[in-house]
C-alpha cells in the first residue's frame, strides 16, 4: 500500500475559543432575561438595524417586485428541484404495524416537529440557496410553523432575493435578525414566533456556537465547522476542471479544507500548478481567500490503486465528495463516508450548493462518518406505539416481572404483575 502526500496542509489552529463561547453565553443569557428588548439592542449594535424586526407581507411583495424575472425563474427552478427531492425522500419514510406474538401489536409512526427555526446566512455572501434548502425541506416534512431569520443590511433589511426565496418556500414568519440574536429569537419564540423545536441552517462561528449551547433545549441539524470538499480523480480527469472544482470551494473561507486524491501523478502535478494561478483570476476578496485556503488547507494525495483512494476518502469523510474517474458505479458502491456525492465531470459541487435538488446543509469536519445532511428526516420524529390483548398481557407480565426482579427493580415487577389481575376476556363478555 503506497499513499504519498504530494502537498500537506499546515497545522490547523485550535478550534477552542473561550472568548467566543463567553460572548455567546452572555448574549443568550441577556436575551433569555430581557427578551425582545435585548434582541433589538443586539440587532442595532451588531447589524446597524433599527427598523421593524418582523417582515410584513407587503414588504415581501415589494421585494419580489424588485427581483428580476430571470432571477425569480432561477430561484423557482432550484426550489422545484429541492422540493421534488424532499418529497421523494419523504415517500421513503414508512409507517408500520406488526404482531410480534399473538395479541401483541407494535407500530411506528412518522410525526413532523411542530415548529422549526431556519437560519439563512448573510454577511459576505447572500445565501439565497440556504433559504431554499432549509425552509422548503421543513415545509415538505409537514412542519406546522416555520420561522426564518437572516441578517438585515443597514437601511435595507434582508436582501430582496433572499426575502423572495423565504416567502416562496413558505416561511410563516420572517425576522430581520442575524447572529446569536436571530438564533435566540427562534429558540425562545420572540416577535410572534412559535418556540422552535429544531434550529437548522449554516452560519458563522457565533451562530454555530449558539446552536451548540442551545442543543438539548432544542434540537439542531448538526454541529457545523468549515465547509470542505474532496475530489477523487484518475488519469481520465481534466486537470483544469479538477483545479477549478477545488479552488471554487476554497473561496468559502481561508479555513476551508480541500483535498485531491488521485491515482495519477501527472494529473496531480498539473492541478498543483494550475490551482494557485486560477485563484489569482478570481476577484478579491474571493481570490485572496481561495489562495490562502489552497496554500494552507489544501492536500494532494497520490495513491497506487482506486481502493487506496477510497480508503483515504473514507478516512476524511468529506462534506462534499466529487469523483472524476472511470467506472462511476464502482465508486458509488464502494464509498461509504460523505455528506453528498457527486459522480462524474458533468456534475459539480456548486450544482448541489445552489440548485440541483439534494440538500446542501451537510456534515463537516469528518462528521459524515456517522451522520448525513439535512433532510425531511431531520424534521420528523420516528416514534413507536404498542397495544396488546388481555391474553397477551399475561405473557408479557410474567416475563417482564421476572426480568425486572433479576435487575433489582421491584416496582417494575409489581407494575407488570398488575396486568395478571385483569379480568379474563371471557368474563368481560359475559358481564
Q: Which of 209, 251, 252, 319 is the catalytic position?
A: 319
Task: Tally Cβ neighbours within 10 Å of residue 60.
Answer: 19
d(CA 270, CA 6): 12
C-alpha distances in angstroms, 113 versus 90, 132, 150, 163?
A: 14, 19, 22, 24
SS (H, E, C) 301-351: EEECCHHHHHHHHHHHCCCEEEEECCCHHHHHHHCCCCCEEEECCCCCHHH
Give the three cell numbers for residue 10.
499546515
319 given a catalytic annotation: yes
Examine the residue annotation and report whether 295 is marked as an active-site residue of this protein.
no
Give the three cell numbers for residue 85.
427531492
Mapping DSSP onto H, E and C, the string for the chain reads: CCEEEEECCCCCCCCCCHHHHHHHHHHHHHHHHHCHHHHHHHHHHHHCCCCCCECCHHHHHHHHHHCCHHHHHHHHHHHHHHHHHHHHHHHCCCCEEEEEECCEEEEEEEEECCEEEEECCCCCCCCHHHHHHHHHHHHHHCCCEEEEEECCECCCECCHHHHHHHHHHCCCEEEECCHHHHHHHHHHCCCCCCCCCEEECCCCHHHHHHHHHHECCEEECCCCCCCCEEEEECCCCCHHHHHHHHHHHHCCCCCCCEEEEECCHHHHHHHHHHHHHHHHHCCCCHHHHHHHHHHHHEEEEEECCHHHHHHHHHHHCCCEEEEECCCHHHHHHHCCCCCEEEECCCCCHHHHHHCCCCCCCCCCCCHHHCCCCCCHHHHEEEEEEEEECHHHHHHHHHHHHHHHHHHCCHHHHHHHHHHHHCCCHHHHHHC
- The catalytically annotated residue of 145, 252, 320, 360 is 320
Residue with cell 439535512: 374
Residues annotated as catalytic are 319-320
Amino acid at each position: 500500500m503506497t499513499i504519498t502526500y504530494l502537498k500537506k496542509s499546515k497545522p490547523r489552529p485550535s478550534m477552542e475559543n473561550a472568548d467566543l463561547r463567553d460572548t455567546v453565553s452572555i448574549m443568550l443569557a441577556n436575551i433569555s432575561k430581557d427578551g425582545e428588548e435585548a434582541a433589538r439592542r443586539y440587532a442595532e449594535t451588531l447589524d446597524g438595524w433599527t427598523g421593524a424586526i418582523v417582515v410584513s407581507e407587503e414588504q415581501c411583495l415589494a421585494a419580489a417586485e424588485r427581483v428580476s424575472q430571470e432571477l425569480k425563474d432561477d430561484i423557482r427552478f432550484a426550489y422545484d428541484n429541492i422540493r421534488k427531492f424532499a418529497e421523494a425522500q419523504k415517500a421513503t419514510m414508512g409507517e408500520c404495524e406488526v404482531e410480534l406474538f399473538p395479541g401483541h401489536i407494535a407500530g411506528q409512526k412518522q410525526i413532523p416537529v411542530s415548529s422549526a427555526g431556519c437560519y439563512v446566512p448573510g454577511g459576505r455572501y447572500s445565501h439565497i440557496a440556504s433559504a431554499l434548502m432549509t425552509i422548503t425541506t421543513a415545509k415538505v416534512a409537514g412542519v406546522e410553523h416555520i420561522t426564518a431569520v437572516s441578517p438585515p443590511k443597514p437601511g435595507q433589511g434582508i436582501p430582496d432575493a433572499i426575502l423572495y426565496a423565504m416567502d416562496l418556500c413558505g416561511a410563516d414568519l420572517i425576522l430581520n435578525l442575524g447572529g446569536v440574536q436571530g438564533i435566540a429569537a427562534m429558540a425562545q419564540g420572540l416577535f410572534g414566533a412559535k418556540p422552535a423545536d429544531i434550529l437548522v441552517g449554516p452560519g458563522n462561528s457565533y451562530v454555530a456556537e449558539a446552536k451548540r449551547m442551545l442543543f438539548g433545549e432544542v434540537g439542531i441539524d448538526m454541529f457545523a465547522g468549515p465547509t470542505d470538499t474532496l475530489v477523487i480523480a484518475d488519469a481520465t480527469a481534466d486537470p483544469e476542471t479538477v483545479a477549478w472544482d477545488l479552488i471554487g470551494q476554497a473561496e468559502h473561507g481561508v479555513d476551508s479544507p480541500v483535498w485531491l486524491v488521485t491515482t495519477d501523478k501527472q494529473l496531480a502535478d498539473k492541478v498543483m500548478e494550475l490551482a494557485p494561478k486560477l485563484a489569482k483570476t478570481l476577484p478579491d476578496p474571493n481570490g485572496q481567500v481561495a489562495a490562502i485556503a489552497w496554500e494552507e488547507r489544501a492536500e494532494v494525495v497520490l495513491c497506487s490503486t482506486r481502493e487506496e483512494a477510497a480508503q483515504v476518502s473514507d478516512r476524511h469523510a468529506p462534506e462534499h465528495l466529487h469523483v472524476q474517474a472511470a467506472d462511476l458505479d464502482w465508486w458509488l458502491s464502494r464509498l461509504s463516508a460523505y455528506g453528498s456525492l457527486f459522480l462524474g465531470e458533468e456534475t459539480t459541487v456548486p450544482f448541489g450548493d445552489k440548485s440541483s435538488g439534494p440538500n446542501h446543509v451537510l456534515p463537516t469536519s469528518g462528521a459524515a462518518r456517522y451522520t448525513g445532511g439535512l433532510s425531511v428526516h431531520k424534521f420528523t420524529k420516528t416514534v413507536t406505539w404498542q397495544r396488546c390483548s388481555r391474553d397477551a398481557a399475561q405473557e408479557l407480565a410474567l416475563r417482564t416481572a421476572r426480568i425486572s426482579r433479576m435487575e433489582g427493580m421491584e416496582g417494575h415487577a409489581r407494575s407488570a404483575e398488575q396486568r395478571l389481575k385483569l379480568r379474563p376476556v371471557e368474563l368481560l363478555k359475559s358481564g
